[in-house]
């Protein structure tokens, strides 16, 4: 296990530069407690991630987890929301941005369901989630979910009519979501955090851009991964979330205030490293068998 400890302890910290720069920028807009909360949480989340990666934990039933995630997406409409925008689920004083937490995990679980030849089930779930995101409304999360899922459906669903039909619906829903954007005003330390960073000077601007590039980078560069295509599609998911912030009032992942994107990112990172480690373990087991 020692040769893989770089992944355990270093790779999840790709989140740290964006969170740290965002925290510095936030001090110009909010009090220190709010500004440092993301930083504290990413460190705590990183320690939990390292423990989960290192420990051989049992996997959760994928179908059950998928149904639970969809239920949480639907429950956002029970929450009062803000100006008819229903992206959050309140747990006491904390508002959780559900799609930001579970979007990557949902893509992973739908990929796994396709391995069990549940093509129709995956198409129905994909369309259902996309419709929920349209009515939340959340064009950024919908686009980041729909494009990777469209690629997955095209490559992994054997029924070409079913895959193209689902992709067509996804395209329609994405276009509709961008035509009917929400009217929520931007918050300077959430959606406009990059502007605060830019106002800090040229060097900070450069570092801020680099930190955002670092967020999806591990999903593209990790080699010998058990699910290389899926890993890259998760990188595409986070890339789209970053790009869409330039076209609407959407939270800047990790850099802007909010723990939900941090949870989602670390969950995806934990999955990626565990699967890479499993692939390495399988390879070592085969080599050991051949040696004997």
Cα separation of 46 and 11, whole Å? 10
Q: Structurally, how many domains does the chain consist of?
A: 1
pLDDT per position as a tens digit, 105-128: 999 999 999 988 889 999 999 999
pLDDT per position as a tens digit, 127-152: 999 999 999 999 999 999 999 999 99
Confirm whether 189 is domain-assigned.
Answer: yes
Cα separation of 11 and 217, whole Å? 10
Joined together, the tokens standing for residue 15 give: 């989140």
Confirm whether 292 is domain-assigned.
Answer: no
Residue among 45, 156, 58 at smallest CA distance from 107: 156
Confirm whether 266 is domain-assigned.
Answer: yes
Confirm whether 257 is domain-assigned.
Answer: yes
**Average pLDDT across the chain, whole number:** 86
Report if pTM > 0.85: yes
Confirm whether 140 is domain-assigned.
Answer: yes
* Spatial contact of 143 and 155, defined as CB atoms under 8 Å apart: no
pLDDT per position as a tens digit, 243-256: 999 998 999 999 99
Cα separation of 277 and 53, whole Å? 9
Domain that holds residue 268: 2-287
DSSP code, position 79:
S
Q: In sequence order, which residues have a C-beta less than 8 Å from that of residue 157 and are 6 or more positions away?
A: 114, 119, 122, 123, 163, 166
Helix (H) or strand (E) holding 12: none
């Amino acid at each position: 296990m020692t040769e893989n400890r770089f992944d355990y302890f270093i790779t999840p910290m790709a989140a740290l530069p964006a969170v740290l720069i965002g925290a510095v920028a936030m001090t110009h807009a909010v009090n220190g407690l709010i500004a440092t909360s993301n930083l504290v949480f990413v460190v705590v989340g990183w320690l939990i991630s390292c423990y989960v990666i290192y420990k051989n934990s049992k996997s959760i039933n994928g179908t059950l987890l998928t149904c639970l995630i969809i239920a949480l997406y639907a429950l956002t409409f029970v929450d009062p929301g803000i100006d008819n925008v229903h992206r959050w689920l309140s747990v006491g004083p904390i508002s959780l941005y559900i799609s930001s937490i579970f979007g990557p995990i949902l893509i992973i679980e739908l990929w796994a369901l396709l391995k069990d030849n549940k093509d129709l089930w995956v198409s129905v779930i994909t369309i259902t989630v996309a419709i929920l995101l349209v009515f939340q409304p959340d064009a950024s999360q919908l686009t980041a979910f729909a494009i990777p899922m469209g690629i997955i459906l095209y490559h992994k669903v054997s029924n070409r009519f079913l895959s193209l039909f689902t992709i067509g619906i996804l395209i329609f829903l994405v276009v509709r979501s961008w035509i009917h954007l929400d009217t929520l005003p931007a918050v300077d330390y959430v959606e406009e955090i990059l502007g605060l960073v830019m106002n800090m000077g040229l060097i900070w601007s450069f570092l801020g851009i680099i930190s955002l590039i670092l967020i999806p980078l591990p999903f593209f560069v990790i080699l010998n991964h058990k699910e290389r295509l899926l890993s890259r599609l998760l990188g595409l998911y986070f890339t789209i979330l970053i790009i869409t912030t330039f076209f609407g009032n959407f939270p800047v992942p990790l850099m802007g205030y909010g723990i939900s994107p941090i949870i989602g990112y670390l969950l995806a990172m934990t999955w990626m490293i565990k699967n890479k480690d499993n692939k390495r373990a399988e390879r070592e087991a085969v080599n050991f068998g051949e040696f004997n």
